[in-house]
Structure 1
Amino acid sequence: MARSFADYRPRSGIEWTKTIPFGRRIFDFYPSQGDLVVPAAGLTIPNTEDGPITISRYRRLEINGPFTKQKRDRGWCVLCDDLILGAGARPNMAGKGAAGSPKWAVQDIAIPRAITLSGHRTQYDDFAAWLRENCYAIFDPSLFACPLPGTGDVTANYKDWPASGPVIVSAAGCGSTTARVYGGCHGYGSAIGVNGPTGYAGVNAPGGGGGGGNILQPATNAQGDGNSATVGTTGSAALPWSGGIRGLQGVYTNYTGSSYPFSTSTGDRDGDPYSTIASSRPGGILIVLVRNSVTAIAGHLLSANATTDGVVAAGHGAGRVFLGYGGALTGTLNMAATGGAAGAYCGHGGAGAVTAKTLAEMGWA
C-alpha cells in the first residue's frame, strides 16, 4: 500500500529550496529492481486507479508477452538499461486512459533538465524516498498541482518544465472530432439516426478524439472518449468544453437540440451514461526510456490502443506511445495507438501518436 507522510516522522525546520539535475539522470534517481524477464504468459503491474504516472525501473528488461498495468492511470514510464522485445512482446496501455480530474495540471508532460523543489516540514530526503518507494514519477505535474493526501508540503516549479526538457506529451496536439466541437476533444452527437463522425488523430498527445454519438436513442447513446491522462479544466457554461486540451468525455444532443456533458468533471467517461462496460476505454500513456540498446524482434508491438466491446460503448480515442533509447537499435520498432472501432451508436475513435527517438534527439547528450 502506498505510504503517506503520516508514516514518516515530520521534522520542523527552515524553509528549503533544492534544485536537482534531472533529464537523463532519471535512470539514477529511481533504484533498479534488477533484471526482469516477462514470460510469454505476461505480467501485470499493480497500480492505483486514476493515480499518478508511475515508474518501473529495471536493468536488463526482456519482454516476451503482454506487459501492462492492472488499472487505468495517468501513465506508465518504464526505465531500463537494456531492452529486448521478443516476438511475443506486448508492452501496452491499451484501454488504460485515466478518468481525469479538473484539478490536474493543464500543460505538456516533459522530463525537465532540472527540477526545483521547496518545502518546510517535509525534508527533501524523505520526499525523494517516498517517490521512489511508491514509484511515483517526479515529472508528473499533477503530482504537485493536485497533491495526493499525505504528500507533505513539497512544491515544485512544474509550470516551467515544458520549456526545460523534452516534451513527451503535447497539450496542444489532441484529436478533435468535427468543426462543431468548440475546441474540445470529444465526440458530439450527430443528426438524428446517423452515427457520429470519426475522432481525429492526436499529434504528440494522448490520443485522438472520440467518435460522435447517435442521438436516435439517447438512452443508449455512446460517444467515444479521448484520453485524459493530463486533462484540461472544464470550460464555460456557454461552451461547456471550450477549455478541453486533451481528449475529454463525450456529450450528446438531446431532442430539444441542446448539448450537455454527462457530468461536470473532465476526463474519460463512457459516453453512454448507463454503461458500465469496462472493456471499452480510451488508450493510456506508455513511455519507455532505455539507457543503452534496444533489440526488437519481428512480431513485437508497443501499444496504447483504445479498447471496445464493439457494440455500444465504442469509438474511444487512442493513447500515446513514446520510446527513447541511448544506444543501438537492432531491428525495427512496431508501435501503435489505434482508436476504438465504431459501434452500433458511435463513430470510430481517433488515432493516437507514436514516437521513437534517440536520447540525443531528446536533448540528452
Structure 2
Amino acid sequence: MRKFLFALLALTLAGFSFPQSATAATRTIELIERPHQLIDGRFIDDELATLLSPEGRLGSLVFTSVPTQTRWIIDGAFLDEVQAMTDGYALADESDGQGVDVAIAFLDQLKIATSGAVITPIAYGNPDRTIAEQLAPSELSFYFSYGAERVSFHLERTVAVDKSYVAKERAKISGPLRKNYTVNRQAISKLSTVVTAPELTLFRARLAILLSPSINGELSEKFAANAIVGVAEQRAKLRINPGKYALTSETVEVPLTLVNGFSSAVTVNLIFRSSNIKVLVNDMRQITLAPESRTQFAVPFTVVASGSTNISAVLTNAKGQWLGPSSKLALTMTLIDSRVAWFTTGAAVLLFIGAAAQTYRRIRKGR
C-alpha cells in the first residue's frame, strides 16, 4: 500500500513538472540599428531600403513567423527613421530614396508581429548608458521616456518605460566629441524651457545618437558636425532681427521685430544691454509670440546724449538664461537742445517775415 501511494505521488509530481519543462523559452528580438539619418533628418544612405525587405536582416525578423512568447527590444529612433521613409525621402546627395513601399509594409507587419508580445523600449537613439549617466543623467531619463513614447506611437499600443535593457557595446567617444555633445545639449535644453514644439523635442532626442556605440570614427565626426549646424538652425528660429536706427528726439519708439519660427507659442523676456549710457531702455518681460510669427514691438528709448551706441538685445527664459545669440541694434542719436530749437525756430520765423515784407514792398513799387 505504501509503495502504491509513493508511486501515485511520484506520478502526480511528474504531472505538475512536465508542462513547465515543455514550456518554450521566451525568444528575444532586437530592432536596434545604427542611424541612417543625420541629426537634422537627412538620410546619409539608402541601406534601410534593403534591410527592411522580407529577405533583409531587419525585415526577416518581422515578416517570418514569430512565436507568441517573444520579447521585442525596440529603439524608437529606428522606427522614426522608417516612418520618415514612408512619405518619400531624399538622400544627402539629393537622390531619391527607394524604400517607400518596403518601409510602409515593414511598419504594418511590425504591428501584427508584436501583437500580444512583450515590448521593451530602449533609450531613444541607443545612447551609451554609462556615458549618458556621466554627462547628463536627467537627459537620459528624457531619452527613455521619449523612446517609450515613440514606440507606443508606432505600434499603436501603450508601452511603458523600461530601463532593463543594457547594450553590450560601449561607445568610443573622444573628449572633444563629449564636449560637443554637452554644449549642444545645453543649448537645446535651454530652448526647451520655453518651446514645446514637437520638432524641437525630436531634435533634442536625436542628440542622443551622438552617444551611440553604433557610430564611431569618421561617422561620429560627421554626426557631430551636423549637430553643430542643426543647433544653430534651431536657435535661429527664435530671434530678434538686428537693425540700424536714427534717434532725433529725447524719447523715441524703436520698432523691433521678434521672430518665432516654431510651431508652438513661446513666452520670453527681451533684455537689453548698452555699450554706454547715452541711451536708456527698459527690459520687456513675459512677451508671448504666436507660432510661426514675426511680431513688431514699439520699444521706447530715452536719449541722454548725442552720439552713437550699440545695444545688445537678447531673448531669455524665466531664469534669465540666454535662448540664443544676442542681436545688435546700432543707434545714432542727434539730440537738439530745446533752447537751440527755440532759437532756430524763432530765427526762421523772422527770416520768413522779413522776406514777406520785402516782397510786399517790391510789389507796391511795381505799381
TM-score (normalizing by structure 2): 0.24
Q: Greater relative contact order: 1 or 2 (C-alpha under 8 angstroms, separation 6 or more)?
A: 1
TM-score (normalizing by structure 1): 0.24
Q: Which has the higher helix share?
A: 2
